[in-house]
Structure 1
Amino acid sequence: MPPTTNAIPRSVPIFMQRITELCGTEHADWAENFNACFANTLTTTVRRHDDGTTFLLTGDIPAMWLRDSSAQFRPYLVIAQDDPDMADLIAGLVRQQFRFINIDPYANAFNETPSGATWDQDDRTDSFGPWLWERKYEVDSLCYPIQLAWLLYRNTGLTSHFDESFVSGVRRILDTFETEQNHADSRYRFFRPNDDPRDSVPNGGFGGPFAVTGMTWSGFRPSDDACTYPYLVPSNMFAAVVMGHLQRIFTDVLDDTEIVRRAGKLQHDISDGIAQHATIRNAAGERIYAYETDGLGNALLMDDSNVPNLISAPYLGFCDADDPLYLSTRRTLLSPENPYYFEGRFARAIGSPHTPTGYVWPIAMAMQGLTSNDRAEKEHLLDQLVAADAGTHLMHESFDVNDPTQYTRPWFSWANMMFCELVMDFFGIRINT
């Protein structure tokens, strides 16, 4: 069905005025950027359909990512607590996400209509269809819609999105995670015939060697870059958390003991796999989480800006922010020992192999603040983010630590909303998790 004209829920300008007043004169620049970012997602990315679904553009790409769309709407959950129109808008997104998952749980991004549009028409994979924009399999793409469905229920009490499509989509997610606990049993392949190794799963699209660990295999990172080793630890952390959400949903709201059993087993298997196979030693000999591992003794010491990353573990609900193993990991990753940590005149933060050397990501800076117990650190990061907006009052994908006028992606809704969430967090406005 064609999209309807966007109408901003009445609660949005009221909430923006509340943030403006909280920022006051001391942080008036935060308020200016917050209002620009908070409104931008609703006015530029939302496609509200007559069938009750909501489609979200990621920004400057005409497709919807399961991951990005969840993060784009997460800060609005605070408004949805008292605004049924906003709650319905978010419920429409959940319905759309699970419709897409039922089409293909291995796809990461989808078209608004079955147009056949794709990122690259030459992609070689075992299945494709006209709804799919891209079919890079990423564990987090299946975690985010579960998280959003849970948070909508947790914050509003709404249950209308727990429909037949949701239940069948959950079963497809469980099937996929279980299959990918031993990727040898999987039919999934992905190879893009270009010269960029980040765009293809190694070994002709199948992936490199691995041992069965209990964790679930991922072809790609949340950056859409190929994994070096197939057990992406932060995505497995996220998977373990959302399996807990499913157990609550299918016990408290829906009655399906088989889904509860399967989700519980996956949560146990994945958590045990992380504990046994996902830690390494840093240069000081401290035990820290690895970013990726293969279960054969190989692992990466690094972190990426895209969430889920290791820095985000408390934000995801995997551990507490003061957990000793997390803190040793955090200190290591916010240092030159992380090859994607960059320092310059305007920022010190995490970047990504997805963007140029020396470029850091506002998403990573916002996540650093959201997982800190230090209010001064949050304030410093917000000041840096506003100072690095290149006069646009919006967040970019990444920017040069020595020259913020050099940036990637002029329009990136996920980054805008992560900035908004950090502003809200600074003033104690948080989503019930």
Structure 2
Amino acid sequence: MPTYSPVIADRLFTQIESRLGGEIAAVFRSCYLGTLDTTIEILADGSAFVVTGDIPAMWLRDSTAQLTPYLHFVTEDPLLAETAIAVSRRQLDFIGLDPYANAFNAAPNGAGHHTDQTVMSPWVWERKYEIDSLAYPVQLAHDLWKLTGRVDHLASFLDAAWKIVDVWRAEQDHEQASPYRFQRFDGAPTDTLARDGRGEPVANTGLSWSGFRPSDDVCTFHFNIPANMFAFVELEHIAEIASTVFGAEKLAASALALRESIGNGIADYGTAIAPSGDTVYAYEVDGLGGVLLADDANTPSLLSLPLLGWCTPEDPDYLRTRAFVLSPDNPFYFTGTAGAGVGSPHTPDGTIWPIALAVQGLTAETDDERTAILDLLMRTHAGTGFMHESFHKDDPSRYTREWFSWANAMFCELVLEVAGLRTHRRTPAGAMAR
């Protein structure tokens, strides 16, 4: 089954070329078609399996982010809509299989990290529990419902949503209520949890615990603030779908009550004082006094909060946090002769992530900043015509992951923004008073 209409895609490429020039249009075309042509497989049951690129598994996070630039066109391209619907259907089914898993196999073939000490299934590639792995599929399901009016992707939504709410609530009291344990004995220290798989100690704060960051690296302090903000946004979407589509008022009420509790936790524990003296959002806390002032390139990140629907780009709390993130006070912000931007401890020191650059451009206050970021991305793809996971701040020819669909998608999203063709934006869900 085709995943998109070539005629509609070609029309888009012509628009990009006329507005931004042939060089940008050529890279956009490579990145836009790369995901559709090389990462998506329509399965026999009508759902779709999406690999990240060079890893033959489907991440719930990545497979949502990979679809970002296509959501603007699902109402005019029926094939593209069917593809996105098929991905959403597969995501919700996977959550039903294991809400603690972050990556899955196309079939129960036992591929992946099956020497990890945790409760594995042959469907599961990896079982690093991350809040965002549950938030992203809700985001996609809600986006598609709002954009197309369709509900046929929501057949297993209620089961998945109850599991999400139950997990996020249990992880508010990780020490006593959580069944989750995880240890990996053949990887880096960032690939495993301390204390026999329970993770470092935390207090009860109203925040929901996460074992790992969106980078799949272990948290330093297990309350990841941007991930909790993402959960806060998506719990409202769970409640909206539950009530409006299914009349499931008990689920809606449970989701909204949990949302309020997490929101209060963010208000009480989610900020800290930056070296500048400004009050900014923390990246991670533990409720025991531990605070990590930083931001990571992977989203959800502090830099990406307006894209998640937590706030507007003009929000004063966000602007103070953004200034911190894009400064040397952020330990993962790197500046070199090739460029400056946010990186991650997931990749070598001094490497900048195109994903974070695209997010910076998409949340910029001025057209000049957006254009400058797009120019930087065009100068740092090392002549490949694709974005990479990261590139060295002094030498773009030194990069990680030649085939990384998430980065390609975010480049396309920024191009659409600069070209004036980005139509789908998320309305802030109403952050708690702080």
| TM more than 0.5 | yes
Length-normalised TM-score, structure 2 = 0.95
**What's the CA shift for 1:8?**
3.9
Kindly indicate whether the alpha-carbon contact (under 8 Å) linking 1:75 and 1:431 is maintained by their aligned counterparts in 2: no
Q: Separation in 1 of the partners of 2:221 and 2:33?
A: 39
Kindly indicate whether the alpha-carbon contact (under 8 Å) linking 1:15 and 1:79 is maintained by their aligned counterparts in 2: no
Q: Which residue of 2 aligns with 1:368?
A: 360
- Deviations, residues 144-203 of structure 1 (Å, cap 9, x unaligned): 00000000011111111121x111011111110110010021110111113621001122
- Deviations, residues 181-232 of structure 1 (Å, cap 9, x unaligned): 1002111011111362100112221011111111110000000000010100
Matched, 1:64 2:55: no
Match of 2:224 among 232, 245, 251: 232
- Deviations, residues 284-343 of structure 1 (Å, cap 9, x unaligned): 211000000001121101000000000001110101111111111110110100011000
Q: Which residue of 2 aligns with 1:260?
A: 252
Structure 2 alignment gaps of length 5 or more: 427-434
Matching of residues 280-319 of structure 1 within 5 Å: 280-319=272-311
Q: Separation in 2 of the partners of 1:121 and 1:22?
A: 45
Kindly indicate whether the alpha-carbon contact (under 8 Å) linking 1:240 and 1:267 is maintained by their aligned counterparts in 2: yes
Counterpart residue type for residue 74 of structure 1: T
Moved over 6 A (4+): none
- Deviations, residues 358-401 of structure 1 (Å, cap 9, x unaligned): 10000000001111121111111111111111111000000001
Q: Separation in 1 of the partners of 2:320 and 2:17?
A: 33
Match of 1:27 among 11, 21, 25: 21
Q: Separation in 2 of the partners of 1:195 and 1:176?
A: 26
Q: Which residue of 1 aligns with 2:321?
A: 329
Q: Which residue of 2 aligns with 1:7?
A: 2
Kindly indicate whether the alpha-carbon contact (under 8 Å) linking 1:36 and 1:393 is maintained by their aligned counterparts in 2: yes
- Deviations, residues 251-303 of structure 1 (Å, cap 9, x unaligned): 22221111111110111111110110010001121100000000112110100
Q: Which residue of 2 aligns with 1:167?
A: 158
Local SS of the residue matching 1:404: strand
Counterpart residue type for residue 165 of structure 2: L
Local SS of the residue matching 1:70: helix
Kindly indicate whether the alpha-carbon contact (under 8 Å) linking 2:158 and 2:242 is maintained by their aligned counterparts in 1: no
Local SS of the residue matching 2:356: helix
Q: Which residue of 2 aligns with 1:106?
A: 100
After superposition, the Cα gap between the structure-2 partners of 1:213 and 1:13, relative to the gap in structure 1 and judged at 3 Å, is: farther
- Deviations, residues 237-259 of structure 1 (Å, cap 9, x unaligned): 10000011112212222211111
Match of 1:183 among 167, 171, 174: 174
How many residue pairs get matched?
424
Matched, 1:405 2:397: yes
* Aligned CA-pair RMSD: 1.3
Structure 1 stretch displaced more, 140-149 or 20-29: 20-29
Q: Separation in 2 of the partners of 1:121 and 1:239?
A: 28
Structure 1 stretch displaced more, 138-147 or 85-94: 85-94
Matched, 1:273 2:265: yes
Counterpart residue type for residue 15 of structure 2: E
Q: Which residue of 2 aligns with 1:75?
A: 69
Q: Separation in 2 of the partners of 1:318 and 1:192?
A: 34
